[in-house]
Amino acid sequence: MKVLIVGSGGREHAIAWKVAQSPKADKIYCAPGNAGIEEFAECVPIQAMEFDKLAAFAKEQAIDLTVVGMDDPLVGGIVDVFEAEGLRVFGPRKNAAILEGSKAFSKDLMKKYNIPTAAYETFTDASAALAYLEKADFPIVLKADGLALGKGVLICNTLEEAKDGVKTIMEDKKFGTAGNTMVVEEFMTGREVSVLSYVDGKTIKTMTSAQDHKRAGDGDTGLNTGGMGTFSPSPFYTEEVDAFCKKYIYQATVDAMAAEGREFKGIIFFGLMLTEKGPRVLEYNARFGDPEAQVVLPRMKTDIIDVFEACIDGTLDQIDLQFEDNAAVCVVLASDGYPVKYDKGFVIHGLDRFRDKDGYYVFHAGSKRTEEGIVTNGGRVLGVTAKGKDLKEARANAYTAVEWIDFANKYYRHDIGKAIDEA
């Protein structure tokens, strides 16, 4: 069968790599793709938001299955466009992708269906938000309602910081129209855990857990990013936590969406906070996480095409979803200065060192091919992933592999997976 993957980052590279392992995949395309994805797929110069062009290409090439990796096209309704053309596509429709597209929607859903989350208020008016904050307890969390590349969340320790935050989100529109509505949320403490799941509208099957590192600098300092590294599984995601989440969060979310007439097919990413009072939902995403996909997919044993098809057909209950009994760690190699200002276009050396090395992977996030070779083309450039029998071995392997790669402004965190030592 012919498969089209939509997107251009590390997540899409991991998906393409996984799809390429399926005996069912005869030909893979990726739009627009990147220099790493080229190894597995033919890259097509169509952007992820050009829905009509993508659908026309899928029809022209008789694509059997399209997999949408990115959040923007899902929230924008790419699945609806493809379905209207009679094309098979993996991902939620627009009315279901709102689970990620609007923080206010997802908070209201959790409240209505008693899914455990932080207390919150929603504002469309900056002065009303400021008046509320005058009486609030600190620290407090401000969230831009819409998509903001994982960066539209501000943790404010004082009233002054919160006032600046309201200005940043609602008045200066730093995150664009995502800041037209803002959610103010109680600050929760505990460990964060990410759990990805496959959903077919009624059945949900969770993947192995992971933990992301959002801040740019060591020791969780600096600005929020799209993610600087991750590990899987999380030692803090115990059987007890899993049982609680299955009972009160996972199925409850799928059922809530169905009850609202928003049947969800695709991937739900649960961002969880393990608080003293039990797990709480921090956020939902409607797609694979990035870089979570880069540690979860290398550990997945089941043929991914079978899973995608089962989600579309509503037969996920028949899939035996299996993961390896090991661990994986991903360290993101970024351009120095990310997420603010950084230079691009530096030649990347050492990529060939990953060839034929079992359990070591390099997933391209921001790269492009030039006459000089493959060069940096983004803030996050590569995700270096390694497996090991346990988390400590996987981490040691990942940091060994980080040294194999070199480019002029290479930057990375040195403490990915530090929490492993505390488990």
**Chain segment 263-276, per-residue pLDDT in tens:** 999 999 999 999 99
pLDDT at 419: 87
pLDDT band at 224 (very low <50, low <70, confident <90, very high): confident
Give the position of tokens 């993961």. Answer: 323
Q: List Cβ neighbours of 208 (8 Å cut-off, separation of 6 or more).
A: 232, 233, 296, 299, 300, 323
- Same domain flag for 369 and 386: yes
Q: Which CATH number covers residue 376?
A: 3.90.600.10
CA proximity to 126, closest of 152, 161, 165: 165
Whether residue 313 lies inside any domain: the answer is yes
Q: Is the separation of the CB atoms in 398 and 331 below 8 Å?
A: yes
- Same domain flag for 87 and 130: no
Question: Mean pLDDT over all residues of the chain?
Answer: 96
pLDDT band at 421 (very low <50, low <70, confident <90, very high): confident
Whether residue 199 lies inside any domain: the answer is yes
What range does the domain containing 349 cover?
327-422
Strand-pair partners of 50: none
Q: How far apart are CA 396 and CA 239, in angstroms?
A: 26
Give the position of tokens 């597995």. Answer: 40
Q: How far apart are CA 410 and CA 351, in angstroms?
A: 14
- Same domain flag for 313 and 198: yes
DSSP string, 237-289: --HHHHHHHIIIIIHHHHHHHHHTT---EEEEEEEEEEETTEEEEEEEESS--
Whether residue 112 lies inside any domain: the answer is no
Q: Is 90 exceeded by the pLDDT of residue 208?
A: yes
pLDDT at 178: 86
Segment 369-391 shows an average pLDDT of: 97
Residue type for 346, please? F
Q: Which CATH number covers residue 40?
A: 3.40.50.20
pLDDT band at 150 (very low <50, low <70, confident <90, very high): low
- Same domain flag for 345 and 375: yes
Q: Is 70 exceeded by the pLDDT of residue 79?
A: yes
Domain boundary among 159, 180, 201: 180
Domain boundary among 74, 94, 114: 94
Out of 98-107, 170-179, 384-393, which region has the weakest mean confidence (pLDDT)?
A: 170-179
pLDDT at 147: 85
Domain boundary among 94, 109, 133: 94
Task: Please give the share of the chain, as a percent, with pLDDT higher than 90.
Answer: 93
Whether residue 185 lies inside any domain: the answer is no
Whether residue 22 lies inside any domain: the answer is yes
- Same domain flag for 16 and 78: yes
Residue type for 28, please? I
Q: How far apart are CA 30 and CA 41, in angstroms?
A: 6
Q: pLDDT, tens digit, for every residue of 319-371?
A: 999 999 999 999 999 999 999 999 999 999 999 999 989 999 999 999 999 99
- Same domain flag for 162 and 218: no
- Same domain flag for 348 and 395: yes
Whether residue 109 lies inside any domain: the answer is no
- Same domain flag for 367 and 402: yes
* Total number of domains constituting the chain: 4
Whether residue 373 lies inside any domain: the answer is yes
Whether residue 340 lies inside any domain: the answer is yes
CA torsion sign for 223, 224, 225, 229 is: positive
- Same domain flag for 28 and 141: no
Segment 41-60 shows an average pLDDT of: 98
- Same domain flag for 363 and 380: yes
Q: Which CATH number covers residue 170?
A: 3.30.1490.20
pTM over 0.85: yes
Q: Which CATH number covers residue 213?
A: 3.30.470.20
